[in-house]
Chain A
Amino acid sequence: MTTYDDRAVKLFIYPAILFMVIGMTVGVFMAFNTFVFPDYFSGEYIHFGRVRPVHVSTVTLLWLLSVNIGLMLYFIPRLCGISLWSPRLALWAGAIWWFSLIIGSNSFPWGTNWGWEYAELPMWISWIPIKFLFAVSWIMLVVNFFMTIFNRRFEKLYVSLWYSMGTLIWTTFTVLVGNFMIVWLPEGMSRVNASWFYVHNLVGLIYTPMGLATAYYFLPKLANTPIYSHRLSMIGFWSIAFIYAWIGTHHQIHGPMSQWLQTTSIVFSLWLFIPVWTVVYNLFATLQKDWSKYLQSAPIRFLMMGNIFYLITCIQGPLMALRNVNEITSKTDWVIGHAHISLYGTFTFFAIAGIYQAIPAMTNKPLWSSKLADWHFALNLWGSVLFLFSLWVGGFLQGLMWANWANGSSYAEFHSNLTHMPFVQTVAETRIWWILRAIGGVIILLGNILFVINMYNTIVLKQPATQETPQKAGAYL
């Protein structure tokens, strides 16, 4: 019988939960200090341009990526039926991971932004090679995961393992392109293209497969029912493998990119409907046998709501790639809404569901309060609905205002429209939506503070449920 060494899982998940709340606090600060009361706290180290990357880096790397690694450390050994190949290697990887990322993510106010989207981490801070350490830590994890999978005792690869293997390969290459190889390319559009390739694959080939692996593992666990269809999950996996890497250029529609490349990205973006709908249907159909579980369990609600948000994200995404829709939505707050529904509404919800399952299982203690979990879900749901809709509506109106500049039949007419509608007015008209967004953000933050309390009390206050440690292999599958 296998004992699972979960120290590495805890090393990744526990701090990540804290960083979720810290990152969201920074986000709420910006929502007020930039948009509701612009530049109220003013100065070199605190203005929007320098604080925004702290928020983005904290929630994407310190929270979401870290927690996903933590959950993979949890379910990959359990799906393989053996303990992690080297728990010691994982602990070292975790130490390097937190050391480089905590320093890197909090260095931006002091002017260390590297200048490429989602690759803002600096190469060096003093003598510390931040990005190099991050990459080393990642490769240590990849080796560990693959060795665990190669040495597994259960022959069949469950779909979560497919997704995990995919993300381990993709992430390695994608992160290398976006963070290192980009400087080897010719200056100008080659680098921009590589940057968008990286940005989109970060979401599509890192967070998506990690999130889906999590969902595919934890939904059957939480609902205590097998997944609806393995074939469907494989169609979803292979279509992601085929499609995602092609669509980075759809961030540059109407921009200075070659038209054929834009068109290619649009076509592949539309094909995204295939992997998405297979996943969404598969997860829904899994729970279809017993919907009452949705009412009984907050984590299942998180998973299912994340699934609905995933459907919305992936209807938006391909449509935003269409040239005529893009004309209105691109460069507006709609895009910010879209980024939040995927990384927050979908993958953070999945990860939270995973934590609700993993922490009580690892610590062998029941959840401190399921009432608090219910509140956590309710606040998260209503907060994010307010948050997302205000960004979408505000962004869409913003796009329409800009497009209305283009009224008329001659350049003179266009230009006189323009002088009647200066740019700052379009900013002023968006303010009301920014206020609603900030309120939504506060609600979400409150919900997640409850989550931290709940988890802290579970880990620290509760007594172990039974004396039946260590856990047995297969007991959770």
Chain B
Amino acid sequence: MSEIKKKSHEEEHRGHNPFVHKLDRSAILVIIGIIFLFSFSVIVVLIAPRFVDDTWTSPSSPFQVQMYEVADPNYYMSSASSGGKELQYVNHIRQGNTLLAFKETGNLRIITTPDLEQYVSRYNENGLKLTSRLLMIRDPEGEMVDKAVHLQKKMQEDWIAYHATATKEEVAKIKYQFVELYDPKVEEAFAIDPSGGIIQDWIDENFIILDSEPKQKFHKDYGVIYVQNPREFRIIPVHYGEGMRWRYDSKGRPVKDLQELTSPMMGFYSRKQLIELGEQIYAIEGCWYCHTDQTRTLIEDVVVNGSDSFPAPPSSANEFIYQKITFPGTRRIGPDISRVGVKRPSRDWHKAHFWAPKTASAGSIMPAFQHFFDNDPRGTGSSAIGIPNYQFEAIYQYMMTKGTRITPPTQAWWQGKDPIKTKEIIEGLRKLP
């Protein structure tokens, strides 16, 4: 690259003026070559894969679809401080949309009018009856009270007849709970969920849907999510200083509509909103710099994420199709979170851990996330004076989706029902095809 040479080129090219003319061959070749090679690889590695591998877009099971599209948007929760001792969980039930089951258990009996009799799954009956007609249960009212008293007496007598040697004290203990199935004649209602579960009620065999035709596309799947024995969520609004608050009371008035439920006074958020918020929090807090979200196809990963008896199946592409951001991660200086919903389901543990990770798990280098609780230790307790800050609940709900939604719980890997047979593979009994 001598100076003289350059200068001679310079002289030669003085005459070039029009723009295209100046784009000489070498420059054109460089540009075309770069674009050709680059677009070729883009087509193969960036565009093609999702059309070649359908697990990139198809769900892992109908259960996964229903959890995200049916259960989450209709499941509401609030930690508003006046809501009572614990979090409040409410199912949003809609006529012709939500599947309901009215099932008796060992000490719960359902009484109802003859026209609703067909919807009750009796205690000794096999199979579960489901309907999308909006019915609810309540404590017996009106003539149903007499019916309940009568039935209680009869059942105790039956019990005594069956257990001939029973003492008086034992008989007194034989209490049955009676509830009434009734038709509230509304289009939508809110039902309290006492279990507050992470995993929805789900049935995949031995059930019938009593509707004449499926009202919703998911009702045609082999397994369905349903709500069992819905009991109306009733509140009493109370004056509190200048403003209004509310508390749960079975003798109160029903919540008017979704707008009231999600109003700032009541402070309910759907689980869908919370999970999305949790994903955002996971992003902005940078959790993903230290925690991976993938069980790799390595023995160390399936074992470390497994339960006591069964290894976790490796993460598959379709587990992530409902996430706007996916955080597979590059570094693991905190445990992997892809199966945390199964490994650590306890809300209390997570509360304690986010408040003070170094106390909850000795030797941890995780920062404390006390701002999830407004830096107020009362937020970590389950007392009535909770901190109405949804950051903890959001990140918790987000984490609880991890590993719990691949298959319905009836076919779950933690029960050993693992279609990939991870255990046999890691023990060397079976090889992948």
Which residues of chain A come closer than 8 Å to B329, judged between CB atoms? 331
- How many angstroms from the CA of A477 to the CA of B285 in the assembled complex? 49
Q: How far is the CB of B424 from chain A (nearest CB, A)?
A: 9
Tell whether, in the assembled complex, residue A423 and residue B320 are in contact, meaning their CB atoms are under 8 Å apart.
Answer: no
Tell whether, in the assembled complex, residue A327 and residue B298 are in contact, meaning their CB atoms are under 8 Å apart.
Answer: yes
Which residues of chain A come closer than 8 Å to B331, judged between CB atoms? 331-333, 335-336
Interface residues of B in 12-54 (CB under 8 A from A): 12-14, 19, 22-24, 26-27, 30-31, 33-35, 37-38, 41-42, 44-46, 49-50, 52-53
Range of interface residues on A (Cβ < 8 Å): 35 or more
Tell whether, in the assembled complex, residue B316 and residue A405 are in contact, meaning their CB atoms are under 8 Å apart.
Answer: no
- How many angstroms from the CA of A466 to the CA of B323 in the assembled complex? 63
Which residues of chain B come closer than 8 Å to A116, judged between CB atoms? 325
12 A-B pairs, CB-CB below 8 angstroms? A38-B365, A39-B367, A49-B287, A153-B14, A183-B324, A188-B317, A241-B33, A254-B298, A336-B331, A411-B303, A411-B306, A427-B363
Interface residues of B in 323-342 (CB under 8 A from A): 323-335
Contact of A414 among B296, B366, B426 (CB under 8 A): B426
Interface residues of A in 176-220 (CB under 8 A from B): 177, 183, 185-194, 197, 220
Contact of B326 among A155, A188, A331, A414 (CB under 8 A): A188
Tell whether, in the assembled complex, residue B45 and residue A249 are in contact, meaning their CB atoms are under 8 Å apart.
Answer: yes
Tell whether, in the assembled complex, residue A39 and residue B368 are in contact, meaning their CB atoms are under 8 Å apart.
Answer: yes
Contact of A115 among B300, B316, B327 (CB under 8 A): B327
Tell whether, in the assembled complex, residue A154 and residue B365 are in contact, meaning their CB atoms are under 8 Å apart.
Answer: no
Tell whether, in the assembled complex, residue A48 and residue B56 are in contact, meaning their CB atoms are under 8 Å apart.
Answer: no
Tell whether, in the assembled complex, residue A149 and residue B27 are in contact, meaning their CB atoms are under 8 Å apart.
Answer: yes
Interface flags, B1-21, vs A, CB<8A=1, else 0:
111001101101110000100
Which residues of chain A come closer than 8 Å to B282, judged between CB atoms? 115
- Of B10, B12, B22, B368, most A-chain CB atoms within 10 Å: B10
Tell whether, in the assembled complex, residue B34 and residue A186 are in contact, meaning their CB atoms are under 8 Å apart.
Answer: no
Tell whether, in the assembled complex, residue B286 and residue A192 are in contact, meaning their CB atoms are under 8 Å apart.
Answer: no
B118 at the interface (CB under 8 A from A): no
Tell whether, in the assembled complex, residue A48 and residue B330 are in contact, meaning their CB atoms are under 8 Å apart.
Answer: no
- How many angstroms from the CA of A44 to the CA of B284 in the assembled complex? 11
B228 at the interface (CB under 8 A from A): no
**Which stretch of A88-96, A257-265, A303-311, A380-388 is in the interface?**
A257-265
Nearest CB in chain B to that of A244: its residue: B41
Contact of B49 among A48, A190, A331, A411 (CB under 8 A): A190
Using a CB–CB cutoff of 8 Å, the interface residues on chain B facing chain A are 1-3, 6-7, 9-10, 12-14, 19, 22-24, 26-27, 30-31, 33-35, 37-38, 41-42, 44-46, 49-50, 52-53, 55-57, 279-280, 282-290, 292, 294, 296-301, 303-304, 306, 308-311, 314-335, 358, 361-371, 423, 426-428
Which residues of chain A come closer than 8 Å to B371, judged between CB atoms? 43-44
Tell whether, in the assembled complex, residue A47 and residue B56 are in contact, meaning their CB atoms are under 8 Å apart.
Answer: no
Interface flags, A86-129, vs B, CB<8A=1, else 0:
00000000000000000000001001111111000000000000
How many residue-residue contacts, CB under 8 A, span A and B? 263
Contact of B30 among A151, A162, A177, A423 (CB under 8 A): A162
Evaluate whether A411 and B323 lie within 8 angstroms (CB atoms) in the complex, with A258-B317, A405-B303, A424-B364 already known.
no
Which residues of chain B come closer than 8 Å to A249, judged between CB atoms? 45
Tell whether, in the assembled complex, residue B368 and residue A42 are in contact, meaning their CB atoms are under 8 Å apart.
Answer: yes
- How many angstroms from the CA of A226 to the CA of B304 in the assembled complex? 57
Interface flags, A224-248, vs B, CB<8A=1, else 0:
0011000000000010011001101
- How many angstroms from the CA of A50 to the CA of B287 in the assembled complex? 9
Tell whether, in the assembled complex, residue A177 and residue B46 are in contact, meaning their CB atoms are under 8 Å apart.
Answer: yes
Interface residues of A in 1-53 (CB under 8 A from B): 34-35, 38-39, 42-44, 47-50, 52-53
Which residues of chain A come closer than 8 Å to B31, judged between CB atoms? 165, 169
Tell whether, in the assembled complex, residue B52 and residue A258 are in contact, meaning their CB atoms are under 8 Å apart.
Answer: yes
Evaluate whether A187 and B324 lie within 8 angstroms (CB atoms) in the complex, with A43-B371, A255-B315, A256-B294 already known.
yes
Evaluate whether A251 and B330 lie within 8 angstroms (CB atoms) in the complex, with A153-B13, A193-B45 already known.
yes
Which residues of chain A come closer than 8 Å to B22, judged between CB atoms? 150-151
Q: How far is the CB of A317 from chain B (nearest CB, A)?
A: 14
- How many angstroms from the CA of A193 to the CA of B2 in the assembled complex? 46
Tell whether, in the assembled complex, residue A157 and residue B27 are in contact, meaning their CB atoms are under 8 Å apart.
Answer: yes
Nearest CB in chain A to that of B281: its residue: A111
Q: How far is the CB of B204 from chain A (nearest CB, A)?
A: 24
A440 at the interface (CB under 8 A from B): no
- How many angstroms from the CA of A260 to the CA of B319 in the assembled complex? 19
- How many angstroms from the CA of A414 to the CA of B427 in the assembled complex? 9
Q: How far is the CB of A183 from chain B (nearest CB, A)?
A: 8
Tell whether, in the assembled complex, residue B284 and residue A186 are in contact, meaning their CB atoms are under 8 Å apart.
Answer: no
The 7 closest A-B pairs by CB, nearest first: A49-B286, A115-B283, A47-B367, A245-B41, A424-B363, A254-B296, A38-B365
